[in-house]
Amino acid sequence: MSSHKQSCLFRIFKLKFVSGTCFSLLMLILLLNIRLEVFQGENVTWTAANWWSFGKEAADTEKGKETGPKHKDSIGFNMTNILMLKYPELFTTIPHKTLPSYKNPCWIANVPENVLDLNPYRNKRYDNRIKNKPKLMGKHLWESLTKKRTGHFRLRCMPYFYIIGMPKCGTTDLYYRLTQHPDVVGGMVKEPHWWTRRRFHESFDLYLDLFDEAAVIIGNQKENSSHPTRNELDFHYVITGEGSVTTLWDNTRWRKEFWDTTNNEPPILVANILRAVQPHARFIVTLRDPAERLFSEYLYVKRDISKTIEGFHKAVMFSINGFNNCLKTRSVRACAYSPPAVIRRNVRVHLGLYEVFLRDWFSIFHRDQMLVLRLEDQSSNQRATMTKIFNFLNLGPIKDGINTEEIFGPGKKNRLPDNLRLGAMLQKTRSILQKFYFPYNRGLADLLNDTRFLWLEKNL
């Protein structure tokens, strides 16, 4: 065969091979419904993520170390494919792009014709804390609908920010102050706990319902309250958020949700799920001296039982011994995410291992998407703390006289009278806890490059 014919045949084969490969890749993308992220400057707020995540799991996948869920490993698999198969509702409900004229992630959703004459909230079971509020909203649904030739539509929104922890670290006070800003509106519930707990028995649509009231406000308010001199009157500046304090650390059901691993460490975290569907969200974490956090939680939970400082000391000893026994056969990460039963029966010492949880989150999200605060600093200087949060969320300054006392005023002590009579924990208990937490606090201080997180100052 002549060299000319060989060259022609090679070009034909190459063309067919490339065309076939491109077609196969295109079909694979369509079948898996993978939504590739496209950055277009400031016009894109967030969109469903692809497999190029920031964590080690995705890095291993990119290197070809894909093993799949049947493998007993906790790394080296295509995470996005697994999440899309596991939670199709998330990827089909959340659109590829949100509305560019909204700061908050919002989109227009079709209202099925078969529910137009009904209350879409009527047959749903909501948290007892909000009781019948969503059902009452259904009566005003028509007022918030947009009618077009193709049907009826309404605005749906997800949180712009999440306060993700920790318990007994002042998150309720922080959330209240934050929602006093004229450009922030809260959801129906401060702590839905959907991502960590309720998603196992509640639909994603039920979670979105909690922000429908906020969506109406976001859609109706176009001017920027904190920047009234701007001419961008068609831009919606109002944002919403939630404050579930379990989001940072609670992955208790990971074995039932995914698969067991040889190292007893969870292969996929709540942070990975959030990253897959909302990669540009912002997260606020407020921490406190872990010894003080533990004592505060002891006083708060199980209010029906008698509490003593001696009882707290005994519970601390049981829990620390249980955690140290766990470390004899498992890693710190494994024990933090799956603590022994003795800890759950006494006091949750593992929740003070802030470094473990934050390292995972920092491997999944960019650090500039996370703001880590201390309750001690918030208590001593509310104005500085709230100003830092407003800057982090790109919110304008507060005008004098607009909720300034609610936002910047002193905090309130919420210890019950019986707990106040107990006083502080025993000094021997404090010393034991400080010794237990010190290596983890040191790791946290190194991680954040901030020695304040050693909590060496006198406890407040």
pLDDT exceeds cutoff 70 at 392: yes
Range of weakest confidence among 84-93, 119-128, 201-210, 221-230: 221-230
pLDDT at 319: 97
- Work out the number of other CB atoms within 10 angstroms of the CB of residue 4: 8
Which listed CATH number (3.40.50.300, 3.90.1150.10, 3.40.50.2000, 1.10.3720.10) goes with 87-454?
3.40.50.300
| Residue limits of CATH 3.40.50.300 in the chain | 87-454
Residue 25 exposed, middle or buried by CB count within 10 Å (0-12, 13-18, 19+): exposed
* Higher-confidence position of 330 and 398: 330
CA proximity to 395, closest of 281, 286, 237: 237
Q: What percent of the chain has pLDDT over 90?
A: 48
pLDDT exceeds cutoff 90 at 272: yes
User: What is the tens place of the pLDDT at every residue in 89-145?
Assistant: 888 898 878 999 999 999 998 776 655 555 566 656 666 666 666 656 655 555 556
How much is the mean pLDDT over the chain? 79
- Confidence bin at 202 (pLDDT 50/70/90): confident
233 and 158 in contact (C-beta within 8 Å)?
no
Q: Residue 155: in which H helix or E strand, if any?
A: strand 151-157
Spatial neighbors of 228 by CB under 8 A, at least 6 apart, are none
* Higher-confidence position of 33 and 331: 331
Q: How many CA atoms lie within 13 A of 316 on its CB side?
A: 29
393 and 239 in contact (C-beta within 8 Å)?
yes
- Taking the whole predicted model, whether its pTM rises above 0.85 is answered as no
